[in-house]
Amino acid sequence: MTQSAGNTTLDYGRERARMRIASKYIPLLATASVVVILYVYGCAAYGPRFASLRVLVDLFKDNAFLGVAAIGATFVILSGGIDLSVGAVVAFTSILIAAFCEHHGVNCDYLRRSPDAAVAFYRYRHLATHHLHPLLAIGVSLVLGSLFGALQGCIIHFYRQPPFLVTLAGMFFARGMGFVIHPQSLGIKQPFYIAFLNDIKIPLVAGVDIPFTVMCLAVVFLVALFIAHYTRFGRAVYAIGDDEQSATLMGLPAGRTKIMVYTLAGFTSALAGVVYTFYMQSGDPASCIGFELDAIAAVVIGGTLLSGGVGFVGGTAMGVLILGLIQNLIIFNGKLNSWWTRIAVGLLVLVFIAIQNVVTAASRRTTRAAAG
């Protein structure tokens, strides 16, 4: 190194700083390399059909609603919590919108016949013959989703309950309410959905276009990036995830942030439900069972620590792409059992947890060495 004492310290400082930046980004780089490896393998194994623009756009098209939900789940996991109610809220929102848009409104005949649904019937009876404009239905469901999330957040914070249990209860409740609204899947034939929204798309080459759902995903992604890195709320989420007690001692509004995080998660779950109705042109109370686990897997593969405080929204987006790529590769193969997707995702999650452990251990060692 250099001779003078001042220069040595400077060099040591620079080296330490480089290591800290690198260790923060290592899981993100690992995720990015997995995306690249999968895509390159697909191009090499399946030829020009896989390397086409259509496959790329389909990747976003088919996973738009997972992406929206996973982005919301990222904030929850960053804050050190977890949200198991995502799938149930998506299904509930989808059937609520479908029921509002179709001419029998909410299925009150069914409600009248089953005694357990008396409360729901009472609440919805005036909607039985109305069919709401889809925009109003979407607005109502987004508000309901946010309120549901806020309720969960309040129970978690004020009663100091573990998020796992509260959101588990929320999941059962939302799932049941979905079936109470309408017990079967319901197609949406409203012209707003079929004609108007289908025409909002950005045409690309050769019959491929970017549909409305992908544009929604892009907007949600950009807004989430902004919230995470350029707002006080985002910084507070990271701080709380890292160490809640230190964050509170520093003067950050831990309670308010936590409730807002779960409200945001409820909102994005409801928004994912809305995107789902655009995508499927139907609502189904029995859909998205186990969907929250896909969202959590995407977040973990994206480089976010399950204990919170470390992670990126961009990582989650890449995690969603990885899930989509694996499924696409298996379908292109045409001979593999589709359950290999689950096996591959499980292995990847384990690999990423291992990477995260190694990186945190290494950075703790350097900080301890530097301090000592």
Partner 1 sequence: MLKRFLRVPTRLLCSCLLLAFMIAGCDRGPKKLVVGFSQIGAESEWRTAETESIRSEAAKRGIRLQFADAQQKQENQIRAVRSFIAQKVDVIILAPVIEPGWEPVLREAKQEGIPVILADRGISVTDLSLYVTLVSPDVVEEGRMAGRWLATKLNGKGNIAELLGTPGSSPAIDRQNGFREAIAAYPDLKIVKSQSGDFTRAKGKEVMEAFLKSGEKIDALYAHNDDMAIGAIQAIEETGKKPGVDIIIVSIDAVRGAFQAMVEGKLNCTVECNPLLGPPIFDAIEAIRAGKTVPKKISLKEQLFEQSQAKELLPTRRY
Residues in contact with partner 1 by CB under 8 A are 14, 17-18, 21-22, 25, 29, 33, 36, 39-40, 43-44, 46-52, 54-55, 58, 61-62, 183-189, 194, 198, 207, 279-282, 284, 286-287, 327-328, 330-332, 334-335, 337-339
Taking the least distance from each CB to partner 1, the nearer of 316 and 327 is 327
**To the nearest whole angstrom, how small is the minimum distance from the Cβ of residue 315 to partner 1?**
16
Taking the least distance from each CB to partner 1, the nearer of 22 and 222 is 22
Taking the least distance from each CB to partner 1, the nearer of 6 and 207 is 207
**To the nearest whole angstrom, how small is the minimum distance from the Cβ of residue 306 to partner 1?**
25
Give the DSSP letter of residue 143: H
Taking the least distance from each CB to partner 1, the nearer of 245 and 338 is 338
Cα of first residue to Cα of last residue in the chain, in angstroms, is 21
**To the nearest whole angstrom, how small is the minimum distance from the Cβ of residue 18 to partner 1?**
5
Task: List residues bridging with 202 in a β-sheet.
Answer: 210
- 193 and 277 Cβ atoms separated by less than 8 Å: yes
**To the nearest whole angstrom, how small is the minimum distance from the Cβ of residue 58 to partner 1?**
5
Taking the least distance from each CB to partner 1, the nearer of 62 and 242 is 62
As given in the structure block, the two tokens for residue 173 are: 């409740």
Give the DSSP letter of residue 186: E
**To the nearest whole angstrom, how small is the minimum distance from the Cβ of residue 268 to partner 1?**
18
- With a CB cutoff of 8 Å and minimum separation 6, the contacts of 57 are 204, 208, 209, 210, 214
- In three-state secondary structure terms, 203 is strand
The Cα–Cα gap between 367 and 329 comes to 42
Taking the least distance from each CB to partner 1, the nearer of 90 and 261 is 90
Measured from the Cβ of residue 182, the count of other Cβ atoms closer than 10 Å reads 21
**To the nearest whole angstrom, how small is the minimum distance from the Cβ of residue 214 to partner 1?**
13
Handedness of CA 64, 65, 68, 74 (dihedral sign): negative
Taking the least distance from each CB to partner 1, the nearer of 36 and 350 is 36
**To the nearest whole angstrom, how small is the minimum distance from the Cβ of residue 194 to partner 1?**
7
Question: What dihedral do alpha carbons 241, 168, 348, 51 form, nearest 10°?
Answer: -100
- The β-bridge relationship of strands 209-210 and 202-203 is antiparallel
